[in-house]
Structure 1
Amino acid sequence: MLDKPVVVIGAGPAGLATVKALRDRHVPVVCLDAGERPGGLWVFGAPGSSAYRTLHLNTSRTRTEFADFPMPADWPDYPDHEHIAGYLAAYTDAFGLAEDIRHGETVTAVTRDADESWTVATATGTWRTPAVVVATGHNAVPRRPEPMYPGPFGGESLHSHDYRAPEQLAGRRVLVVGGGNSAMDIAVDASYVAVSTLLSLRRGVWIVPKYLLGRPADTLNGALARRLPWRLRQRVSERLLRLAVGPPQRYGLPAPAHGFLQDHPTLSDGLLPRITHGEIGVRPGIERLDGDAVCFTDGRRDPVDLIVWCTGYRVDLPFLDSALLGPGADRLPLYRRIFHLDAPGLFFVGLMQSTGAALPVVEAQARLVGAFLAGRYALPPPAAQRADCDRHLRAATRRWGSRRPAMRVDFDAYLAEAAAELRRRPAEGDVRWR
């Protein structure tokens, strides 16, 4: 039994799942969270939250819920942010997690002590702990184009992180830049209230309707995942998409440069109809900004007075020393995307990008952390951990290319792998916790 609580940083889905997993294993825990209520980025209006009023899940309810806390069966297939924030609050209450959460605690530094314990500093004090679990997520620090496109721009610009409601777009000539789920949602919102709406894509993406063959689209891929390797699933899924909606080029969108299942899916039921209705104009990448207009790489120049940058987020863990992050937070090798290779007692839950929902993945990661800290699961020797990380990185790079391959996980494959890993027991030659 550990003599001091394990410190979990963050009370979003990853942190809550971790607190529960540690409590289930009778491991003492304290969770430090900067917000005022559990739920993290799903709490609309909370500091650092990127939730907007029209936000819904882009993965279906049954593929998103925690395994040990199903969402109500009468909920929509794709619940909105209020449902999810309420669900996370109910999860907290159902398992008594609130008593181990300290809200209003912003972590400023995590340092490794000479005895290999850890010190976690906040504005109000410090915590000495045998282990730290970083569960802060990675969608809090907006990333804009770097370098910014040349030329002056006389209009307004904002990042999707600061978008809250369609009223911000009303009466404007809006340009949405990006190909992810937020970009599609915001472009659709704009198309109903803006004077004009343009969507700029530097590269093609696969647009997936939320329903295929009358079922939530991701449930079909889940059924295939239990039977087929991802390359074969890719071919089946691409054929199904072409039959259901046709190639993206039919809608004036650029052809995807990568195969399906080689990036996070972009789900939207609203985008393609709004394009075909003439309410959203599709443009290629930006060439330059030009006062009250934007010039695109195909030579067109369009008047714009509001740019919404849906260009993603930087992975930023400012409380960790750069020596612990090695090549960078988004490139940090972690065994099973959890265990630091060189710093025993430092764990990460949620520092990954899944092809599907996040909640089941962080739940699986949390269970591994809980079992490890309770002495019910042992890691392989350090050399084997490092070799496994290298193997996963090579495979991920082949599949996903250079876009954060170290962080990428295949949803179904990872869950199966984590379940198999949890069945391991300490054996001769394994590295045990303390």
Structure 2
Amino acid sequence: MDATRVAVIGAGAAGLAAAKALLDEGAEVTVWEQGDRPGGLWARGVGGSSPAYDSLHLNTSKGRTEFADFPMPAGWPDYPSADRVAEYLARYSDAFGVTGRIRFGTTVTAVRRSGQAWTVEARGGAGTVTESYDAVVVANGHNWDPKWPSPAYPGHFDGRQTHAHDYRDPGPFAGKRVLVVGMGNSAMDIAVDASYVSAGPVLLSARHGTHIVPKYLFGRPSDLTGKALAVLPWRIRQRVAQAALRLAVGTPEKYGLPRPAGGLFQNHPTISDTILHRLTHGEVVARPGVERLDGGRVVFTDGTAEDVDVIVWATGYRVTLPFLERDWTGDDPEAMPLYQRVFHLDDPTLAFVGLMQSTGAALPVVEAQAKLLAAYLGGRYALPSPAA
């Protein structure tokens, strides 16, 4: 097909990559962004929903993360800070003419199919506007709507409860007994940060295990080791990488953490240089899953209990698309019928970029999705028949 006017929802990495690819294809692009600057979750600006905290850095090395046609500065460290990543994305947006296409401070409230076109309704400082497009690209991200335990754990808790999305620095944890629930990257970072100011060791609770990969293995960024193994068949690559990881740092069980359910790369690993150090020195202490809350105490699944002042729920995010009708999303947006996780099977002019959880760097993936999308909307790529 040949789509002339395209709306992109979101000016994070996925939205910027989509807009850039579409502009390269000659499309007329409008990017809708609720914040005041490009960068998405990395940009801590006004009006956005960034979960970025002060100690946040890339978990994949810059050489594996950068866009193919826009390298990160050579003088930057292997794992830049969140603010540097936000700066990089802003430079990318400027360099390829995307910034001038962004309508900042506008929140998309509805996307509807209207005959042969799509209607986008948005609310901003000038009120509500409605515009028509040939195609809509959804790139609003999936790390902004906090997921809390559901159903909630039995009992009640007298202390403070917060979600990792609202964490910025460990100051509020000074002199407090802290429990962090979760095994993802944010959980590890928050547990480490809090362990420098908390009263006693930080408790780290998890029901399920994950592989913990340090940022450096054998003197180089760990994801470069994975790149070097890419020539091997998948199963052999996995076994070699797991053996190297076990040789370098041991198994999660060695640190009191649950055993991972699958092999390395089968699920998203946790990347951290510091959590194993803090566990080794007793500044962070592993605990099993939460069983129930009991006033100022938390009871765990092994029957033990601990006094706790603050619980940080690092329990992830929900995929939320509030502007799309349920006819498009179904009951679970994560289960939408998408070809290549990009094209909606009911109408491929409704497309998605970045609606996935990569086991490695996300930017190269969204860049590839954006190029595929642009090729289709520009008429250079044909989707296979749904019956194929």
User: With structure 1 as the length reference, what TM-score do the two structures score?
Assistant: 0.86
Large movers: runs of 4+ above 4 Å: 1-4
Q: Which amino acid aligns with 1:202?
A: R
Deviations for 1:138-177, whole angstroms, at most 9, x for unmatched residues? Answer: 1110001101111110000100000011112211110000
Does the CA-based 8 Å contact 2:58-2:79 persist in structure 1?
A: yes
For residues 346 and 229 of structure 1, the distance between their equivalents in structure 2, rounded to whole angstroms, comes to 35
Structure 2: tracts of 5 or more residues without a match = none
Higher helix proportion, which one? 1
Corresponding residue number in structure 2 for 1:430? none
* AA matched with 1:140: W
Q: 2:274 aligns with which of 270, 283, 288?
A: 270
Quote the residue 1:12 is aligned against.
Answer: 12
- Secondary structure of 1:274 counterpart: helix
| Higher relative contact order (Cα pairs below 8 Å, separated by 6+ residues) | 2
For 2:22, give the aligned amino acid. L
Displacement of 1:383 after TM fit? 1.6
Question: Does residue 27 of the first structure (1) align with residue 31 of the second (2)?
Answer: no
How far is 1:302 from its partner? Answer: 0.6
Deviation at 1:45, TM superposition (A): 4.9
Deviates more, 1:349-358 or 1:254-263: 254-263
Equivalent residue runs for 1:181-330 within 5 Å:
181-196=185-200, 197-225=202-230, 227-330=231-334
The separation in 1 between residues aligned to 2:329 and 2:3, in whole angstroms, is 27
State whether residues 207 and 268 of structure 1, in contact with CA within 8 Å, keep that contact through their aligned partners in structure 2.
yes
Could you give the per-residue CA deviations for residues 169-197 of structure 1, whole angstroms, max 9, x where no partner exists? 21111000000000000000011011131
Aligned-partner SS, 1:41: helix
Q: What's the offset of the Cα at 1:74?
A: 1.4
**Is the contact made by 1:138 and 1:316 (CA closer than 8 Å) also made in structure 2?**
yes
8 Å contact kept, 2:12–2:38: yes
Paired letter, 1:334: L
Q: What residue number does 2:140 align with?
A: 136
Cα deviation digits, residues 15-65 of structure 1 (max 9, x gap): 101111011111111111111100011012543110000000111111100
Distance in 1 (CA, whole Å) between partners of 2:209 and 2:143 is 22
Shift of 1:326: 2.9
User: What one-letter code is carried by the residue in structure 2 that aligns with 1:21?
Assistant: A
User: How many residues matched?
Assistant: 382
CA distance in 2, matches of 1:172, 1:230: 45
1:21-170 paired onto structure 2 within 5 Å: 21-46=21-46, 47-115=48-116, 117-123=117-123, 124-170=128-174
SS in 1 for 2:355: coil
Identity %: 62
CA distance, structure 2, for counterparts of residue 188 and residue 74 of structure 1: 27
- Equivalent in the alignment of 1:368: 372
Q: Is the 8 A contact 2:209 2:257 kept in 1?
A: yes
Deviation per CA, 1:233-289: give whole Å up to 9, x if none.
Answer: 211111111110111111111211221111111011111111111111110001110
| Alpha-carbon separation, structure 1, partners of 2:348 and 2:290 | 46
C-alpha offsets along residues 65-123 of structure 1, whole Å, 9 cap, x if unaligned? 000100011111111101100001111111121111111110001001123x1101112
Is residue 347 of structure 2 the alignment partner of residue 343 of structure 1?
Answer: yes
64-73 or 229-238: which moved more? 229-238
Q: Which shows bigger deviation, 20-29 or 247-256?
A: 247-256
When structure 1 is superposed on structure 2, of 232-241 and 39-48 the one drifting more is 39-48
TM alignment of 1:378-397, pairs within 5 A: 378-384=382-388
Partner AA of 1:82 in structure 2? D
Contact in 2 for aligned 1:324/1:343 (Cα 8 Å)? no
Residues in 1 aligned to 2:236 and 2:322: alpha-carbon distance in whole angstroms: 41
Q: Distance in 2 between matches of 1:330 and 1:239?
A: 33
- What amino acid is aligned across from residue 9 of structure 1 in structure 2? I
Partners of 2:11 and 2:2 lie apart in 1 by 22
The question of whether the paired residues in 2 share the 8 Å contact of 1:294 and 1:303 is answered with yes
Q: CA deviation at 1:2?
A: 6.0
Cα distance in 1 for partners of 2:360, 2:162 equals 27
Verify the 8 A CA contact 2:38 2:90 in the aligned structure 1.
yes
Counterpart contact for 1:2–1:28, Cα < 8 Å: no
Measured in 1, the distance between the counterparts of 2:90 and 2:345 equals 33
2-side partners of 1:264 and 1:2: how far apart? Answer: 37
Instruction: Tell me the distance in 2 between the aligned counterparts of 1:383 and 1:341.
Output: 11
| Paired residue secondary structure (1:19) | helix
Amino acid corresponding to residue 155 of structure 1 in structure 2 = G
The verdict on how the C-alpha distance between 1:309 and 1:201 changes in structure 2, with shifts beyond 3 A counting, is same
Alignment-mate amino acid for residue 41 of structure 1? L
Q: Which whole-Å CA distance do the structure 2 matches of 1:379 and 1:122 have between them?
A: 30
Distance (Å, rounded) in 2 between the aligned partners of 1:280 and 1:3: 54
Amino acid at match of 1:37: R
Q: Secondary structure at the match of 2:335?
A: coil
* Partner SS, residue 314 of structure 1: coil
SS at match of 1:315: coil
Match of 2:363 in 1: 359
